[in-house]
Structure 1
Amino acid sequence: MNVRHTFRALGIGALLIGIQVTGPATGRGDQTPPPASSSSSDPGKNTSQSPAVKTQSTPATPSQDSKPATPKSQSTNGNGDETKPKDDRKPEEKKSEEKKSEERKSEEKKPEDKKPEEKKTEDKRVDDKRSEDRKSDEKKVEEKKVEEKKTEEKKSEDKKSDEKKAEDKKAEDRKAEDKKSEEKKAEESTEKEKGKEKESSGKRTVSSMILTVKLALIADPRIFPYEIEVEGGAEEIALSGKVGNEGEKSIAGSVARTVPGVKNVVNKIDIVKDLPDVLGRKQDDILTHQVKERFARSATLKAANFEVKTEGGVVSLAGTVRFQVFIWEAAEAAREVPGVRAVRTDKVKIESEG
């Protein structure tokens, strides 16, 4: 019985002392626990006296982000153990206080967490700025190169333009000189003609008559190949030269008589029986010369060194070549010569044929 009363008395005394002595909690929520009871559970010892319980409170240091904690009561049970004070706050208030505490902790932690991120962001901005500056410098260099290139091209174009203008000017000067020379020659020729007209004013009609007869003879295809001379006075015309037969001689006289103003024609033209052949050979020689000139314009045909012969307008080629295509090229070149009637290549050999 004495032990039970002793425990009860100790518990009530500790509770009363805790209610009177409790003060505001520290900013960190620390409290100094009461000293343990020195009473013994041994029934043989005197337990009528209650141990002195001292409660020391540490004044809280107020902070800007913290609020004073709600004072809590402390008590000890009969065994001297600390009992938790009763929390009379409502659940909603308790949750609100916990939420605010977490927010304060989060806000205190954020500045430290932001520093690395801000540093990374700042470094990235610096790198981006450097990259932009570098790109800007490269762009300026490229623009400068393009501008220099345009300048060089413009200088080159201007130089070419100046050279072309100089060439054009030289050409114009040459043309002007040639024109002056031609005009001078024309003036000299005119003066000579005037002098001749003055010297032979009485022969003007006769000269015109001779030219008119010559033009009439050339206009006739039957006697066109022959060279016929025309002489005479005011009313009489004399013909001389060579033709192939008596019929051609008669044709020349008849043509001369058709010219107005001619009253008499003296026909002194000689007849040469083989003259057509002579003229033919002469024409063949002309064709041969023209074909060789065509071959000389081509490096391939010139190197082939063809032998060319013409008879009656038919061109014959001879020689040795490496490829048949050279023969074809030579035949085409000869065919383009006016007056050539045919081209023979049977006497041209290819080197592989021996």
Structure 2
Amino acid sequence: MPKPSGFSQTANMSLCPKDSYIVGERNARKIHISRLQAMETLEMENKGKHWVEKLFSPHFSAQDFFSQVYHPESLMFEKLALARAKRVEEIYNRAIKNFQEEKRLKRKVCFSKLIVREYEPNIVGVKINISKKEREGDSACCGAGNLDVGTEESLKKTEGHCIWNAKELADLRQEMHKNHAEGVSLKLQLSTLNAELVELKAKCKKIQVDFENAEQELLNSRKEVRCKNTQLQQIQKDSLKKDFELQALKQHLHEKSANIRSLNQELLQARKEIQSLDLKNKDLQQEVKKLKQQHDLGYKACIEKVKLHYDLKIRNIQKELEDVKSELSDEKLLHVKNVKALEILRKHFSAQPLSNIFDNLRVDFL
């Protein structure tokens, strides 16, 4: 059965924007990939430059100044700002397209639902009418030979008044019934195909979302792969450094082991020397003990001799001291006697007159 032309037109109209949207998505993806490649090439070119030279690149040289030819290049942050603005514009355009596409799909779904709601009661009525007409046709076919005279007269009367005869009217009714049945079947097919179209659009949208998610996951995985590659390179560099350090440590360990062997030999020799020195020390300690004993004995004998000598001296000194004390006591007694005699003489002379004193003195001198 041929499909209706209206349905094919609506299908083409509904699929064309989707195809254009997919083509636009592919173009945007290609632009994004080319931009990423350009950024990678810029990064590779700017790897050898210093970060100050990258950020503040010179606009012109001395030769440009003298030749008066100066075409300023855009700075790196200006390029980044332009790229960011373009990216934002693409994101907004894509969001607007997605919003318009979703709105259009929702409108189509709503229209299809309304069409289905409108045609459902009509389809039920048409089915009832078809069943009634079939019954009437069957009854007419069965009772065609049993038409009575009244019906023939009525047909003849209608033939006299109508343009078409009964056969033409029956053929017309049959064709109308056939066209009506075909229209109903086509409408049913249209509703089913619209439902299938809605399902296909939903599936296509879901596939598109899955594709975008897969694309985003692919980009994330690429970023992760780049990060992992950089990490792997760094790990390889670190492993090389560690290998060099390990070789240096092995060499150092070998030297240390050789030093330890030599030190162990020296330690054994030192232990032997210590043992011999311990034996000598023991002998010397015994000799020192003997010398100490001899020294103690001689010291004690000397002390006793000195004590005896000093005891004798002390005794002599004590005797001399006692003699001196006795002499001192004798002199003290004599002094006391002299003092008393002088006192008596003084009293005696003080009691006598001066003339007698001078006479006595003269006599004494003569």
Q: Same fold by TM (over 0.5)?
A: no
Question: Could you tell me the TM-score, scaled by structure 1's length?
Answer: 0.29
Higher normalized strand content (fraction of residues)? 1
Question: Could you tell me the TM-score, scaled by structure 2's length?
Answer: 0.28
Higher normalized helix content (fraction of residues)? 2
